[in-house]
Structure 1
Amino acid sequence: MRELEYNVRHWGPADAPKLFMLHGWMDSSITFQFVVDALGDAFHVIAPDWRGYGQSEWLGRAYAFADYYADLEAVLTHYAGDAPVWVAAHSMGANIALNYAAARPERIARLALLDFLGLASPTADASAQLRCWLDACAHPPQPKPYRDAAAFAERLRKANPRLDAERALFLARELTLEFAGGGVVMACDPWHRLPSPLLYSVDEWMANWRRVRAPTLLLIADQGHVREQFGADDANYLRRLACFADLRVAELPASGHNVQHDCAHGVATELLAFFGAADRAAALAAERAASA
């Protein structure tokens, strides 16, 4: 894919409606496993590991964010041609999907955003941001080793107490690689930890959101990043919501930022309803029950 080895996971029947799922920062496509389990056979889910993540090729140097848009276009074209597609995306993946939908509105038929409504306004100036990036590039980041997958699972549960031991260990095994010096490391190129050389411009990105024409679903974790930044009546929150031409918002209870882990069935229920596959899922369940 664009001269890189790209890993793309597939779940569900090949003849089911296609749903592209895009993961977030320091993650990989396996993050959607629990949601996919809850979706059953409703979709043919197609989920890439972004460059430098999971089993896709790592660059071992600084990454340019703009490459994600071209990578996404290559994935969509490869699996769906020119047809408009359905996309569900988490965090950084949602950021990528939103800006892509603004630039290519004809390619995105429906878009679901998992706990993402932009970042907070920056506090640093542009030159300070660039200096920070240059300093980071001068000292190549190193992976952090863990004793084994179980130790990494403990780290995941410490960061997210809602994650039960079984799911944490599953994720830890899938999200780590053996380290040459012993133990395991996250399956993410450590160069992704570099700060951006550019400031995040909220106004520019909101201008992009105003160009999105696809019906959009925003799933908000009640203890996630969106609610950490904004209350339900916050003027900045309402200003961001107003950017979308066709928006539905749903709140997910007892969930942190990783809603795909904390509330997989809730996410699946909302996706089934939004993408119009609820009736299909019920029919498939009835067929399975009848043949059992």
Structure 2
Amino acid sequence: MTTFRTRLPLLAALLSVALAHPAYAAASAATPTKTARAANAVSYHTADIDGVKVFYREAGPKDAPTVLLLHGFPTSSHMFRNLIPQLADRYHVVAPDYPGYGQSDQPAMDKFAYSFDNLAAVVDKLTGKLGVTKYAMYVQDYGAPIGFRLAAAHPERISAIVVQNGNAYDEGIDNPFWAPLKAYWADKSEANAAKLRPLFEADATRWQYTEGFRNPALHVSPDAWILDQAYMDRPGNKAIQLELFHSYGTNPPLYPGWQAYFRKYQPPMLIVWGKNDKIFPAAGATPYLRDLPKAELHLLDTGHFALEEDGDEIARLVRDFLNRKVKR
């Protein structure tokens, strides 16, 4: 009768033959004993800016040219989650959350000024803390007035600009979406505020991610708008958003100064724009060419959060543009 004990020598012999087989040896050599961290992996940090914890995503070699990604409303650096690793093999990528957004602190309104001037100041101080003295920027929605404040104040720091559905001209904010906002800029009354509050609810957030998209069911994960809404549903956050809606009225008066910056310094610019956006329609994209005739314009058949549907195409365009325009 054969027992397990009597089979042990046979099993040992078979195992030694298998381990010596070239295929096993090759597989063993190819399998790392420790998982290597990808060169374009994203890391997550916070920086203290005047007592406010500001969250930012970072990736890529720190000695490479920096690309600063500035998000819009009502999202956060999460909107760049797929773009960051597509750039980080060649660039040092930094994507912050503004105070009151994403993973950054949400200080009380009596402790922090929720204005575009102050959000720009926070981002400016963050770049200083990180030792970033020159950068390209990708600006979307709220990111445009924040980024253009930085560019106009520090033109020597800007190596290139990518604009995605963000305005610097009156064209494009003359559509019906903006009428109640302009009324609130002129009269900060409760009656005018009440007309804007539905924009902070889930249906409106979902609308921003689906309106004008070719196939949101195929291309847009609901995780994006659900996460944005969860942040906005935090106690006190909607009052912050309303305050920033009012502060947006400080942006159009600055447009002539930003346009003068474009004309004087001629920063390399790539415009990638979801042309079906009902908030910032394509009418806001083409005026950049008046002041920057060498700007590159691409109108995409998608909506406001174009990265959700056309992220790979935008990444390709951005990489090509930066590779040509930003010195290494």
Query: Which residue is 1:132 aligned to?
Result: 188
Of the candidates 70, 73, 80, which is equivalent to residue 22 of structure 1? 70
Q: What is the aligned-residue identity percentage?
A: 19
Of the candidates 271, 283, 301, which is equivalent to residue 230 of structure 1? 283
Contact 2:134/2:157 (<8 A) preserved: yes
CA 1:106–1:16 in structure 2 vs 1: closer, same or farther (change >3 Å)? closer
Is structure 2 residue 173 aligned with structure 1 residue 112?
no
Q: Return the alpha-carbon distance in structure 2 between the equivalents of residues 29 and 57 of structure 1.
A: 14
Give the aligned residue type for 1:105. Answer: P
Range with greater deviation from structure 2 (127-136 or 86-95): 127-136
Contact 1:42/1:277 (<8 A) preserved: no
Range with greater deviation from structure 2 (162-171 or 105-114): 162-171
Query: CA RMSD of the aligned region, Å?
Result: 4.2
Of the candidates 235, 254, 262, which is equivalent to residue 309 of structure 2? 262
Q: How does 1:17-56 map to 2 (within 5 A)?
A: 17-39=65-87, 41-56=89-104
Contact 1:24/1:92 (<8 A) preserved: yes
Give the aligned residue type for 1:20. Answer: L
Unaligned runs of 5+ residues in structure 1 are 179-183, 279-292
Of the candidates 49, 52, 55, which is equivalent to residue 4 of structure 1? 52
Contact 1:220/1:252 (<8 A) preserved: yes
Deviations 1:27-69 (A, max 9, x none): 1001011222443623221100011100111134372221012
Please, what TM-score do these two structures have when normalized by structure 2? Answer: 0.65
Of the candidates 89, 92, 116, which is equivalent to residue 65 of structure 1? 116
Deviation at 1:226?
8.1
Deviation at 1:207?
2.7
Q: Return the alpha-carbon distance in structure 1 between the equivalents of residues 284 and 130 of structure 2.
A: 39
Give the aligned residue type for 1:250. Answer: L
Q: Return the alpha-carbon distance in structure 2 between the equivalents of residues 156 and 25 of structure 1.
A: 10
Give the aligned residue type for 2:71. Answer: H
Give the aligned residue type for 1:193. Answer: L
Deviations 1:54-100 (A, max 9, x none): 0111134372221012112112112234x221111111102211122
Name the structure with the higher helix share. 2
Contact 1:8/1:49 (<8 A) preserved: yes
Contact 1:87/1:108 (<8 A) preserved: yes
Is structure 2 residue 249 aligned with structure 1 residue 193?
no
Contact 1:116/1:225 (<8 A) preserved: no
Contact 1:177/1:187 (<8 A) preserved: no
Q: Return the alpha-carbon distance in structure 1 between the equivalents of residues 154 and 227 of structure 2.
A: 33
Q: Secondary structure of the residue that 1:52 maps to in structure 2?
A: coil
Give the aligned residue type for 1:17. Answer: P
Query: Which residue is 2:269 aligned to?
Result: 216
CA 1:41–1:225 in structure 2 vs 1: closer, same or farther (change >3 Å)? farther
CA 1:157–1:66 in structure 2 vs 1: closer, same or farther (change >3 Å)? closer
Unaligned runs of 5+ residues in structure 2 are 1-48
Q: Which has more radius of gyration?
A: 2
Give the aligned residue type for 1:220. Answer: W
The one of the two structures with greater contact order (alpha-carbon pairs below 8 A, sep at least 6) is 1
Deviation at 1:17?
3.0
Q: Return the alpha-carbon distance in structure 2 between the equivalents of residues 42 and 52 of structure 1.
A: 31
Contact 1:21/1:47 (<8 A) preserved: yes
Q: How does 1:91-110 map to 2 (within 5 A)?
A: 91-110=141-160
Q: Secondary structure of the residue that 2:75 maps to in structure 1?
A: coil
Q: Return the alpha-carbon distance in structure 2 between the equivalents of residues 159 and 125 of structure 1.
A: 20
Q: Return the alpha-carbon distance in structure 2 between the equivalents of residues 187 and 277 of structure 1.
A: 45
Is structure 2 residue 224 aligned with structure 1 residue 171?
yes
Range with greater deviation from structure 2 (190-199 or 6-15): 190-199
Give the aligned residue type for 1:95. Answer: P
Q: Return the alpha-carbon distance in structure 2 between the equivalents of residues 273 and 49 of structure 1.
A: 26
Contact 2:140/2:163 (<8 A) preserved: yes
Q: Return the alpha-carbon distance in structure 2 between the equivalents of residues 159 and 225 of structure 1.
A: 8
Deviation at 1:254?
2.1
Q: Return the alpha-carbon distance in structure 1 between the equivalents of residues 324 and 218 of structure 2.
A: 31
Q: Return the alpha-carbon distance in structure 2 between the equivalents of residues 177 and 128 of structure 1.
A: 25
Q: Secondary structure of the residue that 1:19 maps to in structure 2?
A: strand
Q: Secondary structure of the residue that 1:263 maps to in structure 2?
A: helix
Q: Secondary structure of the residue that 1:210 maps to in structure 2?
A: helix
Range with greater deviation from structure 2 (254-263 or 22-31): 254-263
